[in-house]
Every structure is written in C-alpha cells, then in structure tokens.
Structure 1
C-alpha cells in the first residue's frame, strides 16, 4: 500500500521539538530501553538542515528575536497566551495567542531526500512567505508488529528477529511572521489544501484525502502509537476467539465421527456374530469369522485411540496459543505502562522547571538582559555560555567592541564575570576585573575624551604637522 502525502502544521513547542528532532542524549534516555517508537540503529539514516540566514540554530534565541522585532514594528508586545474578549453581541470570544514558530510534520517515501523537502519548503516560502528554519528527516521511527506483516505490506522489515513497521516523515520548522510588518502570516483552509497538493507533486506521492472528506482528526505521535497498539491487541483477541471457535468445532466433529465409527463397527460385528451363530459354533471356528471379529474390534479400538490423541493434541496447541497471546498482551501492557511512566516523569520534570523559573524569575530576567549585553560587547557564544550558564569567569586579552560607544577598547589580561549586584540582590551585573562593566565603560570613555581634548589643545607643530 503506497503512502499518501500528508502535512499537519501546529504551533512549535520549542524545547520538546528540538529535543525530539535532534535526538538529544537526554531525550533518548527518557525513551529508555523499551524503544517505544525510535530504533537507534536506524538513526544514522536521519538527515537535517538548519537555515544559515538567521544566524542562530537555537529556536529559543530566534523566538526572542521575533518578540523584539514585533515590539519594534508594531509598538506592542507580542501576545503569546490565549486570551478572551467580549464580542459585539456580548458573547465571550477566545483569541489564540501568536504562534510565530510553527512545525509541520510531512509524510515522505523511504527514498525521499533532504533536497526534495528543502524544495518543498522553498516553494512554501515563495507562495506564502513562511520561512523554513529547520528540516529534519526521520527514518528511525515506527512501531513493532506482533507477528508477520500482512501480504500487501511491503515496507515492514525485520530487526533482530522482530518485524518493524517504519513511519518515514519529515519535520519542517517555519518562521510564520512577516518581518516587514511584524504580523503573523494568515493561511486559510484553501491554502492548506494547496500545500498538501504541493507536497504530493514535489515528493512524487499520491495525494491524501482532505480531513473534510475523511472526517478524521490528526493524531499526535504518542496517541497514534497507542491507537496502533490497541488495534493490535484487538486483532490478537479476535484471532484468539477465532482459534477457540475452530477448536470447539473440531472437538464436535471428532465426537460425531467417533460416534459414527463406533456405531458402524458395532453393526458390522453384530451381523457377523448372528451369521456365525446361525451356521453353528463349529462352522464359526472353522470359517475364521471369530478371528475377523477380533481384528475388527482391535481396529475399532485403535481408531478411537487415534482420535482421542488428536483431541488431546489440539487441546495442548490451544493452551500454548493462549499462553503465547497472554504473553503478548502482557508485553504490550508493559509498553503502555512504561510510556505512561515516561510521560509522568516528563510532566514532573517540567513542573519542577516551572517552579524554579517562577522562583528565580527576577534573576532570569536579568540574565537575559546580561546575555544581550554580552552579545553586543562582542563575546562569542562559548564565552556567553561560560558566563551565564556555567557561571564561570572568562579571561580575555585583546579588544572588545561596544555598540553603545562605537569604539574598540584595548584590554589586557581582563577577567569577565557575572556577579550579584551588591545594591539589589535580584539583579546581576557583568564585571571586568571586579568592576561593573558600565562603570568601566564610563572610565574608558572619559579617558578617550581626555585624550581627544589633549590632542586638540596641542600645537600643530608638536603633533608633527606643518603650519
């Protein structure tokens, strides 16, 4: 069965999206050894592309840049959360928050290349102005089958003796904003339908039916896996019931055959005995009828014994099948429990992070401001990470650039460090040689001004100039 084209776009959850798409070490640890839907052995076939035009591969940094751009273009802060307002008729209307970064999941073929998907992203940018930031091709996801695949399934293959059904797809992360107006791009249902047709044309796939026709809702990755596993459990139960019905019918048939055999043999034996009695005892022994009767009885006993053994064998097979299906059901239930446990751990971890964020919000706010200042001064990303995240002092020997004063300052063996403000405990300050950076810049500017003033007051002759 050929895979049909499909694309589903939703607001991008930056933290979880990057962890999933990049297959970070922490993300793979959270999945655990159960490997619910990701097979690490196949991850080498994955591909990725990061748009170099935006200067940063980090979605969080790009998101913050968009917020600043919206503020500059519109004069208002970007509305990130859903809010409510009262309409003209008095009814409460829910207004969705702005989703400046959105992510599309696109079904692909096994031989689809990164170039093919980039071509699709470029065409989306040309038509609707949505700019692809990141593209990830995932060819290591899918789900495990219980037993062999169906005859028409040409995609499933074996890994370590188990059958695996792959789910080839791509993630495209879009910048959904108009950077000239500071407003979000507006795409309607017709645009989305055209986008799906575009995907089928570029990726050479059969176009999938629209949701308006099928009535099916898109399922997220984990929900889709759970649905598949539930369907597999249902199929196992139906197979089990069918096998039980077959065994029951076989037992009934054997009982009927056994009864028929016993009846036919007894009738035949009775006829032979009556004939023997009629012809006399001497004639019976002389003609060998008694011997034939004994052989017939022995044959009857052997036939009944063979049928009984067949019934016992069927019962043993039925018991083995029940045990096998029981193990499969327990394994699937174990996978469900592991998945739910992993979700609970992730929710707990995010809750802990949120609690810490609320407690340290003033410091976080100051750290964001310090990060911007560090980039303005001219620090590299590695230097900023050392200062803000590792909380390590860095040594610098050379020149730094100040956007504020448009000057380069010579520094020698200076040590930069993030420290708590002695005046306000909720604020952080960037220091150079234990001196706040703002005060240091003021001193440097004053030295520069004095140098310029002294230069202007010197006679031209003393400066090596001809009068």
Structure 2
C-alpha cells in the first residue's frame, strides 16, 4: 500500500539483532561501583593462545533501550532498592567487584543526549530525519512486512570469566571499533548477578559459592554500549551474520574462553534476563526431582533393611528365650554336672545380647537418616515453591498496574477506546502504522493509491488517488468513521461490490438500504 506526498514509505535500514538486555543513561548512582579513569589510551589487540575453559564465549547485541539501561548497568539507588526487596538475581554484597568505563571521547555520559546528537547528525548528513520507528508495508505477495527502524545505539552482553578484567573487555571493544567501525561508549563489568540454588551444588560445579546460608551460582558478564553509526555518512554500520560469527571468535580469543556454538548450529534462542533465571530454576527443580527420586529409593532400601533387621531381632529374642530356659534348666542340674558348661552358655547369651544392642543402634541411625533426608527434601521443595510464588506475585502486580493504567486511560480519554477500534480496523484494511497514526492522531487526509481489503466481501478493492479521512460520525460524536472521498467506507465498499456485480449501475433499492449504515 502506498500513498502520495510525505506519507510515501521509505526503505529503512535493517538492524542487526544479536542481543541480550537493553538499558538507559542518567544520573550517577550512589553505589560502590568502581569507576576507572577515562583517560584515552589505545590498547592493541594481539590474539592470545586459546586455552580450555569451562565457560564458553558469547556476545549478544540488540538495540539499547535508553529508558532502562543506566538503571541496570550503573546500579542506581532506586534500582538497588528494588533489588534489595526481591534479591532475585543481583546480590548487593557482591556489587563492589563491579567496574565501569566511560569513553573519554563520548563527552557527556548521558545516552539520551548522545542519541539526540546522532539524530541531528543524520539530518545534516542525509537531509532526512532518522527513521526511528518500526514500519509496515505490504510486499508483492500481499503480506505485511515489518521494517525495523534505525538503532543508532546498541548494547552487547558478553559472557566473561571470574578473572576477566576491565582492560580485557576494553581490548575487545577497541578491536571491534578497528574492524567494524562500531564505537564503544560505555563498558560495565558485572560480577554480582546470577541465580540462587536450592540446596547444595552438584559435585562438578566449581563456580557456585555460599552467600550467607544459601548457595549462589554467578553469571559473570559485561555490558558494552556501542555507537553503531558512521558519522561521516550519517548511516548505520552494516554487519552481517559472518561479522557476528567473527565477533564471537574475537571474544573467545581475547578473553581466553572456549568459543560458543552458533545459534544456527544449536537452534537455541537467546533468553532475556528474567526468562534465563526462570529456565535455571526449572533446571534446578528437575535436579531436585531427580534427587528426590534417589532419596526415595534410599528410603525404600532403608525400610527393607529395617524389616529384615526386625525379623532378625524376633529370631534373636526367640533364641534368647530358649537360652534363658536352657540356662535355668542347666542351673538346676549344675550341681550334678558341674559349672563349666553353664559358663559357656552364659557367654553365648551375652554375645547374643550385644548383637541385639548393635542392631537396635543401627535401626535408630537408619530411622534418623530417613527423617533427616525427608526434612531436607521438604525444605528444598518449599523454598523453590516460595521463590516461584514471589515471581508470580511480581508479574501479577505488574499486570494489575498495567490494567489500572488502561482503565484510567479509557475514563480520562473517552475517545481512546474508539481510536483503538479504528486502529484495529485500519490494520485489517492493510494500512501501515504511519498511515494509521496520520489518520487517527494527526487527523490528516491521505491521498492514496493501491488496494484495500474488505472483511465483509473477502476481497481487495482498488483505489487510485482517493482521499481517506477519519472523521467523527455526524449522528454519534462518540464514534469515528473512516471515509473515502467523504463517503463512509462501508457505503464505498458496497458501491464497489455492486459495480463488480452489476456494472457501473447501482440498484436503486440497494442504494436506499445503504443509507444510514455505520462503521
């Protein structure tokens, strides 16, 4: 679908999406993060010898969300207060190990200001405004194609080792700038994130450690905020899949890590921070279930052994009774036969009593172990369910807050609901987001040519240099109507349909029926 004048869609640049989380810029936080001096120095890259490491390299890049980046990366006071309440994945006690670096050529540390400067630079270099919003257009096959807007600032998340330094990550950033022209603006080294384990770590786990009385598995990583623009041409840098693969290899070389497998090989999609935590907890729950089954097997074996011991105890008691009776008989005739045989029987009786005592002790130990294992398992399951419940509560609160905002918008702006209905209708017709915004929000008339789709007639109709408007319904001011050449679109569709069926003439009876039809 195209329309004339300034509403004609332009071919935007495609953005590279290799991403992780997106963040913001703002005031300097009051936290113990160390800030390395921003003196300018060039760190030359020399490939290091690859060594075998457990952690695999990974670099994930996506458009930087300026509205949230700084809060997370700089650990602002408000952000840390929120984390202090939930402690979901950040441990404030470990934040002192975090480090950051700001490019001295960056000027202002405010990402919003830098973004505005880029927007002005693009206007000066290209003579056109920077295409920021995602747009839609209809392809040759009639399908709606989404075209991403320009992303001048992008953020990468790089997995690192526990001993990775800020200088190592700077080497990686400078080599990226040398090879592809993307300029690192900020680097944040985070060593206070991860997820909590339920119980003890596995035997092969060498990374987890105790924080207080709980085990914590760290997620060491770095955030690199890049300027993705060519300031000579005013256009964004173009990196293809091969460039992204080279970037991952570069990370493994500089950081002395094993190279991670490509998404094309593994088929795995990248997980955002919260989804990653949930997946880790699911894996931990599966591990706990396996441990539970193992413990249940141990309990069953212990119960079987307990039954066997009880059976042996009953046999021992019978033997003891028989021995006592024999002793009594023997003592009665001891004077006749002498005391040697009697002492031998007494020693045998004492030996049997010792064996019974030992078996009783073993039974008590087994019962204690079974109770302790069951108690530990119940505690672990309870902790995991409690963490899951807290996460669900947080999501429910967020959904409730959004629902209240939407309800308030409907009450404060009565036409808001009607505008949403009209937006949905325009999308069904095949309009782009820019066209819909011009019609509904800006109240502009659009001169359009192309095809529009009628749901009622289940077909497309041609328009050529027709004028489209969204106007208030003359019979009901609380409703909106889409008109074509000042004619309600429902009437226009009906008229086009009859022209296809009956030629240019519209039956008079049908024409009368169409009057007063509302969208």
Alignment of 1:123-202 (within 5 A): 123-202=175-254
Residue 337 of structure 2 corresponds to which residue in structure 1? 286
Distance 2:336 2:163 in 1: 85
Structure 2 CA distance for partners of 1:346 and 1:180, relative to 1, 3 Å: farther
For residues 379-432 of structure 1, what are the alpha-carbon distances to aligned partners after superposition, in whole Å with 9 as ceiling and x for unaligned?
xxxxxxxxxxxxxxxxxxxxxxxxxxxxxxxxxxxxxxxxxxxxxxxxxxxxxx
Residue 369 of structure 1 corresponds to which residue in structure 2? none
Distance 1:284 1:23 in 2: 94
Match of 2:382 among 311, 330, 338: 330
TM-score, length basis structure 1: 0.66
* Larger RCO (alpha carbons 8 Å, 6+ apart): 2
Q: SS in structure 2 opposite 1:321?
A: helix
Q: SS in structure 2 opposite 1:36?
A: coil
Match of 2:143 among 75, 91, 94: 91
* Structure 2 residue 132 is the aligned partner of structure 1 residue 74: no
Residue 224 of structure 1 corresponds to which residue in structure 2? 276
Residue 368 of structure 1 corresponds to which residue in structure 2? none
| Conserved 8 A contact 2:316-2:352 | no
Residue 82 of structure 2 corresponds to which residue in structure 1? 30
Q: SS in structure 2 opposite 1:192?
A: helix
Alignment of 1:109-120 (within 5 A): 109-120=161-172
| Conserved 8 A contact 1:34-1:335 | no
For residues 10-37 of structure 1, what are the alpha-carbon distances to aligned partners after superposition, in whole Å with 9 as ceiling and x for unaligned?
1211122110000001111111244222
Distance 2:345 2:368 in 1: 35
Match of 1:248 among 300, 307, 322: 300
| Conserved 8 A contact 2:101-2:187 | yes
Structure 2 CA distance for partners of 1:348 and 1:178, relative to 1, 3 Å: farther
Gaps of 5+ in 2: 1-52, 414-519
Between 287-296 and 216-225, the greater mean CA deviation after superposition: 287-296
| Conserved 8 A contact 2:94-2:192 | yes
Structure 2 CA distance for partners of 1:188 and 1:14, relative to 1, 3 Å: same
| Conserved 8 A contact 2:199-2:380 | no
Residue 58 of structure 2 corresponds to which residue in structure 1? 6
Gaps of 5+ in 1: 361-467
Residue 370 of structure 2 corresponds to which residue in structure 1? 318
Q: SS in structure 2 opposite 1:15?
A: coil
| Conserved 8 A contact 2:126-2:234 | yes
Residue 263 of structure 2 corresponds to which residue in structure 1? 211
For residues 312-371 of structure 1, what are the alpha-carbon distances to aligned partners after superposition, in whole Å with 9 as ceiling and x for unaligned?
4433332333223222222233333334444555677788899999999xxxxxxxxxxx
Distance 2:380 2:183 in 1: 46
Q: SS in structure 2 opposite 1:14?
A: coil
Q: CA deviation at 1:87?
A: 1.4
Q: CA deviation at 1:216?
A: 2.3
Between 235-244 and 157-166, the greater mean CA deviation after superposition: 157-166
CA RMSD of aligned residues (A): 3.8
Q: SS in structure 1 opposite 2:305?
A: helix
Distance 1:65 1:349 in 2: 34
Q: CA deviation at 1:164?
A: 2.7
Residue 21 of structure 1 corresponds to which residue in structure 2? 73
Distance 1:80 1:336 in 2: 38
Alignment of 1:316-465 (within 5 A): 316-343=368-395
TM-score, length basis structure 2: 0.60
Between 251-260 and 49-58, the greater mean CA deviation after superposition: 251-260
Q: CA deviation at 1:65?
A: 2.4
Q: SS in structure 2 opposite 1:79?
A: coil
Distance 1:254 1:324 in 2: 21
Structure 2 CA distance for partners of 1:68 and 1:344, relative to 1, 3 Å: farther
Match of 1:55 among 80, 104, 107: 107
For residues 201-242 of structure 1, what are the alpha-carbon distances to aligned partners after superposition, in whole Å with 9 as ceiling and x for unaligned?
122222122222222222222222222222222222322221
Structure 2 CA distance for partners of 1:284 and 1:136, relative to 1, 3 Å: farther
Distance 1:305 1:19 in 2: 66
Structure 2 CA distance for partners of 1:181 and 1:316, relative to 1, 3 Å: same
Q: SS in structure 2 opposite 1:164?
A: strand
| Conserved 8 A contact 1:254-1:307 | no
| Conserved 8 A contact 1:10-1:102 | yes
Structure 2 CA distance for partners of 1:205 and 1:284, relative to 1, 3 Å: farther
Structure 2 CA distance for partners of 1:75 and 1:342, relative to 1, 3 Å: farther
| Conserved 8 A contact 2:323-2:349 | no
Q: SS in structure 1 opposite 2:371?
A: helix
